[in-house]
Structures are given as structure tokens and as C-alpha cells.
A and B are shown apart, each in its own frame.
Chain A
Amino acid sequence: MQQRNAADTRSRALEHLILLLLGAEDQKISILHLEKEAFFIWNFHPDIKKFMRFISHYRGPYSEEIEQIIRNPFYLINCWTYIPPARYDTLTGGYVELTPQGRSEYKRLYAASSANPQMGPILAAMKMVRELYDKLSPEELLLLIYDTYPEYQRKSNVFDGIQKSKKKLADNLVKKGYIDAERYEDLMASN
């Protein structure tokens, strides 16, 4: 019974964390971006470790818990909408968007969390990763992810496709000013 209560508390907290990450920017986000951004937060803050697990996957670090919560939330019903990927979209995993109910729930939760000093760094980190990574295309994000976390990648057609377009993607990242020459050289040198 106690174990079940602990699991329930953990599930509820994880749904709240996902809502906070979804609401940190006022725009829809791909499942690919959401998972990777949650992964950065997971690496950043030791308290987040207990809520999720990440495993290697053909699209880099993957969390079953996040996938489940987005498709079948248990506590935060009607707070977001899952939009399946378009027919030829093999990268994004679909998109998720807050509903008006989700937006007002986010505001309530954000206000309550802001009052907790321990949550300050987590809330700021969520805004930071949304600002940093949302602007990358799925291909650009995967290029950086595959290169940075080889221990989480699995060889696949998606991986091969990104490797084939590596130079073009890296050139674009430089052109947009998102990476500098040193990072470009690193990307081009790695396999």
C-alpha cells in the first residue's frame, strides 16, 4: 500500500514536471524536443533523477514514462493534446500542445512552484532549454544529440540519414550562428 502511494506521488509529480516544461514556452513542441529537453533537466538536477529513466533509442535518449504521460495522463486530464506525426514524419514522434485548461493549470502550478526556493533552478532550467532547443529543427537537434550522447544512440535508418546530411546540417547551424567554428570542427570530425 505504502509502495503504491509512493508510486502515485511520483507519477503525479512527473505529470506536474511535464506540464511545467510544456508551459515554459507558449507554443507546441515535438515529442522529440520534449524528450531531449527533459533529458537535459534530468542530467542537470539530482532531484529529477528519481522521476524518469532514459534508455538508448534510435532517436537518442528515450523515456518510456514521458511517452506514457503524454498519451495517457492520469492526473492532468485534458491539459494537453497529442497530435500524431504526419505520414512521412519519422523524426518528431508527433507534437503536444497545451489546451486552454492546461495553460491555466500551468499558471497555477508555476505560481505555486515559484514560491518554493528549491524549484527556482528547475523552473529557470526549463525555460532555458525551451529557449535554446525549440528553435532547432528535428534534424539539427538529432545531429547534436547523436554526437553528444553516443551511449544513447542506436544505429537505424534515422541515424544513417542524419549522418548523410551531417555537413549540410552543421553548415546551417553555423550560418544561423547557433554553433561556432570549434563545435563545427568537432561535429565534422566525429563518426
Chain B
Amino acid sequence: MRDSVAADSTFYSCCACDIKRKDILFRFLSAYPFFLGDKILGELPERLTNDGNFTRSVTTYNFDYYQLIKPFFGRSPRHINDGEYEAIGIGYMLDAQGRLRFLILDDRRPNKFAKKHFRNLAPRVKGTIGFVQVVCCEDQKITPALALEFLLKIEKVLTSGEKQRPCSIDPEILRTILMPAIEYIRNYHVSA
């Protein structure tokens, strides 16, 4: 059954720190099985890793996934502990087992890498915004009202200047991805 999610640390930090909506994160965690690794865990804020409800809600795999793709990124120590590559490895494994529903990658480099090199993974690779839209409008695991609350909070945090790039979103992504997604869910909400 394709119901599992692998996500990079940006997704968890977005929910718990950038927009401070841990409650919505737990809605996602109860809707899908989430998988992560040690490197991603190491990038998460303590408010999540010290939360027993969080650690009980996710499954952890501990292998060095970066080793599988290292020649494409080089030996520079700046990438060795990047959680994005761990998310790709775990996502690939879940996909090979026919279990992957979403691979959430918000950073451009790993997102492009996964889509370019892994044909089967490409349609499952989403950013946080795309993930929320599909969870709401295709999978119907959260209500449109909650999805809008989530996305509007990102917009507010960005436009108020509270954070410079909440959830890895900059003004360009706000214009080209976030606002169209909000519009899409609003229309979906009306027609539903």
C-alpha cells in the first residue's frame, strides 16, 4: 500500500518552528506512516526530538545513504551530514517496496537530483506546499480549512518578515507556488 512518507528536516522544522503548528504536524503523522533517519533527526529542533509523541509517531532507519550517491556531490564535508540525501535514500527504499506516497524535499538541489535520476520517484517528489495540497485535495486526509490555515500561516510569517525563508520559501516561491496553491485549495473548498 502506497501510504508512506519520507521527508527532509525542513518539513518538520517548517511545522514545528517556522509556523509553530505542531498540532498540524501531528495530523500529518497520524494520517501517514513517516520514515526518517539519524541525520534528519539530528537536524530537528529539540522541541520535536524530546517529544515522545513525535518519536513514537515516526520510524527511523539508520544507514549511511549519502554513501550511495556521494560521487554526484563529492567528498566535501559540507554535504556528508545533509539529511536531504538520507530522505532520498529512504524514499527510494520505500518506493522499491511499493510503499512510498510522498518524498518531501524543499531544497532545490536534492529535489532536482531525485527527479532527474530516479524515474519512478519523480512523481512522488513534492515540496511542503505541494504535499499539503495533495493531502487535502487528492487524499482528503485534512480539511481544506486546515490546509489553508497552514499555507496562510507560511505566507504571513514570510510577508511579516518574522522569518526570512520560512519553510525554505522565498518571495519567488510565494508568488509562483504558494499563492497558486492557496487559490487552488480555496476553489476546491468552494466546489467541494
Contacts and interface: CB of A to CB of B under 8 A. Distances in A.
A180 B112 contact: yes
A145 interface: yes
A8 B118 CA distance: 37
Contact of B72 (A41, A150, A183): A183
Contact of B69 (A41, A132, A150): A132
A99 B74 CA distance: 36
Contacts of B176: none
B68 A125 contact: yes
Contact of B74 (A45, A121, A123, A147): A147
A121 B35 CA distance: 13
B56 interface: no
Nearest to B113: A180
**Chain A CB within 10 A, most for which of B71, B89, B93:** B71
Contacts of B68: 40-41, 44, 125, 128-129, 132
A10 to B, nearest CB: 21
Interface in A116-135: 120-121, 123-125, 127-129, 131-133
Q: Is the interface of A mostly helix, strand, loop or mixed?
A: helix
Interface string B57-92: 000010111011111111110000000000001001
Interface residues of A, number: 31
Interface of B: 61, 63-65, 67-76, 89, 92-93, 96-97, 109, 112-113, 116-119
20 contacts: A40-B67, A44-B65, A45-B63, A120-B93, A124-B92, A128-B68, A128-B118, A129-B68, A131-B117, A131-B118, A131-B119, A132-B72, A132-B117, A144-B71, A147-B74, A148-B71, A150-B75, A180-B113, A182-B109, A183-B74
B67 A43 contact: yes
Name the 8 nearest CB pairs between A and B, nearest first. A124-B93, A144-B71, A43-B67, A124-B96, A44-B67, A148-B71, A186-B74, A128-B92
A177 interface: yes
A132 B109 CA distance: 16
Contacts, number: 71
A16 B29 CA distance: 38
B64 A121 contact: no
A132 to B, nearest CB: 6
Interface string A39-62: 011011100000000000000000
Contacts of B119: 131
A74 interface: no
Given A128-B68, A133-B71, 7 more contacts: A40-B70, A124-B93, A124-B96, A127-B96, A129-B68, A148-B74, A178-B72
A108 B116 CA distance: 32
A13 interface: no
A179 interface: yes
A111 to B, nearest CB: 13
A116 to B, nearest CB: 13
A177 B116 contact: yes
